[in-house]
Structure 1
């Protein structure tokens, strides 16, 4: 009996060993298959990110950066995971604004830095070129009145730009949606800062930049009402000695330079005209286009008929400001001259506005709006390629947008991007 039991026990042990061996084999096989599956999935994910990188203009961006003298050390390349975490996976509660271009989200980084994330609706063809163009342009500018580009993300399905967060909305909102009441003195300060930033772009960097879409919706304000010029997707670099650029007309209806619209010849004076419209908005609190009527035309006509007072915003005009208001109106009229050569330069405009502020506050600094703080992050870039893209406007950091309209070759209107 004892021998028989011993033999049976041995058989059970054999069966157990075999069973354990089979289980271990299955486990090893399962682990191997899982490892292969995970490795294959990881490779596919990497290939997908490489595909998105190319589709989002990554190769073009690398080429442009190389042609401009090297990498942009201060511009961070964010991972998709970082931006998902910063926006709670792009949750609806983080949306700052929507427009034809896409969506702007508010993000919070692990160090509690607040950022604005501009996520395009799509990126094919010319849109990827616009994305690259905006990165190239903003990577060269470090000016206190220009919104700062912090980085970008190229490995997602749509391209993403990351900016500093501007907390107080757009000038368009403050003037037309009555987000807050802006005194004449504050409007003058905002105008002078915006003019100083544009003058800097035109004449104080090695390769001048034409903004190409100056409007109230692209002027952001922080909590101290400091001006931040935004949305450089349509901007152009201008080579030294280049008087004008033959290009597809881009801009916003109501702000477009009529000479540029007629000839397709882009110069710095196109920004000057758009800025003239902006000055008219600041003085009248009227929108640039209303029921097919253009503020610029009505404003100039009212001055010629000596009835400007009927157009001015009563809330900003009083006995103490009327003379300066008239001076600003006269400057706006000069900016709105039909012939570009008859308009002042942006530097002349900025200096004139600064002079008005100094007249009112003589303790102010004449250099206040011309800080020498631009760093040529890309060295001395050459003129960029004419992408001829339809920029679906607006959408500056920390902003929202309205409706948009595009008119190919002759005229383009873009979302009133905050």
Structure 2
């Protein structure tokens, strides 16, 4: 008997450390635990944790997702957001956190970088999956990372959302919203069952046995409440793939829906598909059809709601990927008592305007797909791409709807055309043909004569514009086109200059719809033709990413070239980082570093074709007031003429950020951008230019020995990348941070940024991380690389040359010229020096500051 008890205890002791092939009946596991989906043929076999009260189980399913299930209802209440995998994967718990990877150790999902080492993973009785430290403190929990469901005991914080496909329930500082592609279609504050108890701001959302609540920041003051009168059971609030938000109660082995919104199902954005007409059918269903004047592809109404104009001479635009001009745009008027789901929740683009003005605003906006105009108020609301369903509202006649259409240019059948051509037309042509030819020839002769004598330049621009339009119209994917006069008016005759770079001058402008834009006048493109220019613009215009500045349009008129970008009100990073204004706080710097990395990762890996920026620097990183970080000037190197492209093959970037391979005639890859990013990262940390002659005021000036490298003890002048390398060798990272944010920095993040930067500036491109891996390291999903010191020794040579230059009494342009001559010679290593003259071009000449 005693031996049996001993064996039983021994098995229990070993059980948490085994890689299981069956369920583990425990509420926690410890690190160095691995579970493979290969072992499981069904979900139930993948259970490896139970809460103590057995209400919840944690599964690693055969779809390679980690999930938490409510046992009695067999409902998933939380799961990881990695895509389902068809191949075996493994779940790993280490001291660094949880991760899901494949057999090649590629990580598909992981918890972020944690503040301390993991002691255990535990499933609590409320369904919360928590990573704990050795003091039982929470390091990460599933409740803080919701998917589509909220359960009792869980609080959804402001800024968090429940997501199901394109539908989201989002919590703001004043309300709870249902949204589709950013458009609101329901608000809790407008619901008849919601009661406001306080005017305080909203901080969290919770569900319990008595109702659904929005709480203030103190966690107890109720701002809004929805009372639920059903008996106590197990309640969940869920965002559905059908766009419905429901609160359900599991009672007597079945689900009872206690709250479902929106109540009017025609308010759901895609209830009848794109441009499908939704009509209520009492008591609870709807009917779908196409609008009058529209048809589906099969002639009636199809389930996907792809309704198209009946008239085949027009088509629906596809947003900013369409090629449009004002002459080809028309509008189909919708019937009375027709409305759109978003109209009650959006602010009009313009008020007190006529229908014609509203249409004109829409015609000039490539993302506008149609309008609703208020007959009495004069309000003008845009329909944005993508379009949702149209709804029927009886008695609603104030708003009139119009759908934008484009003329379809297709060759006509000459026989058909000839058969229907009136007889009198032929007679007229035969009678007056000769006269018409004489008149046309005369007009052309006069126009040519006027041009040769220096006619009105605006007339010349119009002529060039028309030919340019004809040339550009056959190129797919172009953004909105502007003519010169429109941009001249938008910029008040190019009055306000906000930047200058190697490609041209940037002006602030305001479009007729009051959108503020940045208009870049391209001045360094040689004699590149319109077609080549438009082809590259079509590629750039298709790149859409939250960390890339949006190209809104362009102008190719005569020899004029303009690019119209979204306006970033805080300007470029160099102004905030090196200027005399307010100091960038550390968290802002970290977000800038992460946003820039994400943008570059998209250019390198997320778009087709791949874009190598070629000029990553603070001047090309723009900031907006709401903490947006966006890269600009991407893809512009492709706009160089063939002559310029050959000229800049060796150096297209800016001195100080150029990768060594630019100066050795080596092949250029996306790793050149990685090097430049590393240099920018060091400047973000220090708040100073890497190559500028500034006094280093940190304690390193007093106790750091230069050893003949980059620091000059007498002047305090350093070559910062070398100082970063030396401080890394001594593990003294905090001394590298900008002294202006002293005491408000994260030592751990300073170390992270410095180590990543040094990995990025590796002399050998193949040893630099990809930008995708850089993003992973910044987000804590990928382990930090260790810089290879032997591959960074070239920084010591740079540092010596920089110190020599700093000791000169007057650091004139000639001194600067001589110093960078030495830099280039060092990399030349005896190679034929056809590029040396280019290497001395100043940063302003190549791609200078904004």
**Normalising TM by the smaller chain, what interval?**
0.5 to 0.7
| Structure 1 residues not aligned, in runs of 5+ | 1-32, 238-245, 358-404
* Rg larger for: 2
Query: Who is 1:401 aligned against?
Result: none
The answer to whether 1:417 aligns with 2:849 is yes
Q: Give the corresponding residue for 1:162.
A: 564
Name which of 665, 672, 676 aligns with 1:274. Answer: 676
User: Deviation at 1:247?
Assistant: 3.7
- Name 1:367's counterpart in structure 2: none
2:477 alignment partner, one of 56, 67, 72? 72
Q: What pairs with 1:210-229 in structure 2 (closer than 5 Å)?
A: 210-229=612-631
CA contact (8 A) 2:679 2:690 kept: yes
CA–CA distance in structure 1, aligned partners of residues 633 and 566 of structure 2: 13
The answer to whether the aligner puts 1:318 opposite 2:743 as a matched pair is yes
- Name the counterpart of 2:187: none
Bigger relative contact order, structure 1 or 2 (CA pairs below 8 A, ≥6 apart): 1
TM-score (norm 1): 0.66
CA drift at 1:295: 3.6
Q: Is the 8 A contact 1:168 1:225 kept in 2?
A: no
Matched with 2:686 is 284
2:492 equivalent among 72, 85, 88: 88
Q: Counterpart of 2:682 in 1: which secondary structure?
A: helix
> Equivalent of 1:342, from 759, 767, 783?
767
Q: Does 1:124 align with 2:531?
A: no
Aligned length: 320
Shift of residue 349, structure 1, vs aligned partner: 0.3
User: Which is richer in helix?
Assistant: 1
Cα deviation, residue 301, structure 1: 3.6
For 1:106-185, list aligned pairs within 5 A: 106-121=508-523, 123-125=525-527, 135-155=537-557, 157-185=559-587
Residue 134 to residue 275, structure 1, CA distance change in 2 (3 Å): farther
Look up the SS of the partner of 1:210 in the other structure. coil
Equivalent runs, 1:1-400 vs 2, <5 Å: 41=450, 48-49=460-461, 70-73=475-478, 75-91=479-495, 94-99=496-501, 101-121=503-523, 123-125=525-527, 135-155=537-557, 157-232=559-634, 234-235=636-637, 247-291=649-693, 294-318=719-743, 321-355=746-780
CA contact (8 A) 1:249 1:411 kept: no
Displacement of 1:143 in angstroms is 0.9
User: Alpha-carbon deviations, 1:218-256, whole Å to 9, x = none?
Assistant: 00001112101001254469xxxxxxxx94321011111
Q: Give how far 1:106 is off.
A: 1.0
How has the CA–CA distance of structure 1 residues 354 and 52 changed in structure 2, closer, same or farther, with 3 Å as cutoff? farther
What TM-score, normalized to structure 2? 0.34
Q: Tell me the distance in 2 between the aligned counterparts of 1:153 and 1:407.
A: 36
C-alpha spacing 1:50/1:248, structure 2 compared with 1 (3 Å): farther
How far apart, CA to CA, are the structure 2 residues paired with 1:128 and 1:300? 47
CA distance in 2, matches of 1:215, 1:253: 10
Contact 1:131–1:233 (8 Å) recurs in 2:
no
Which has the higher mean CA deviation after the structures are superposed, 219-228 or 203-212?
A: 203-212
User: Following the alignment from structure 1 to structure 2, what is the Cα–Cα distance between the partners of residues 408 and 52?
Assistant: 37
Contact 2:451-2:460 within 8 A present in 1 as well: no
Say which is worse superposed, 96-105 or 81-90, in terms of deviation. 96-105
Instruction: Report the Cα offset of residue 287 of structure 1.
Output: 0.6
For 1:202 and 1:35, the matched residues in 2 are separated by 50
Q: 1:126 to 1:333 in 2, by over 3 A?
A: farther
Distance 1:280 1:356, change over 3 A: farther
The more displaced of 165-174 and 118-127 is 118-127
2:308 corresponding residue in structure 1? none
Mark the CA change 1:100 to 1:209 in structure 2 (over 3 Å): closer, same or farther. Answer: closer
Give the distance between the partners of 2:692 and 2:653, measured in 1 at CA.
17
Query: Shift in Å at residue 175 of structure 1?
Result: 0.5
CA distance in 1, matches of 2:623, 2:506: 16
Q: In structure 2, what is the Cα distance between the partners aligned to 1:265 and 1:98?
A: 29
C-alpha contact (below 8 Å) 1:80/1:156 kept by paired residues: no
Which stretches in structure 2 are left out of the alignment for 5+ residues? 1-441, 640-647, 694-716, 783-816, 818-834
CA contact (8 A) 1:133 1:233 kept: no
Greater strand content: 2
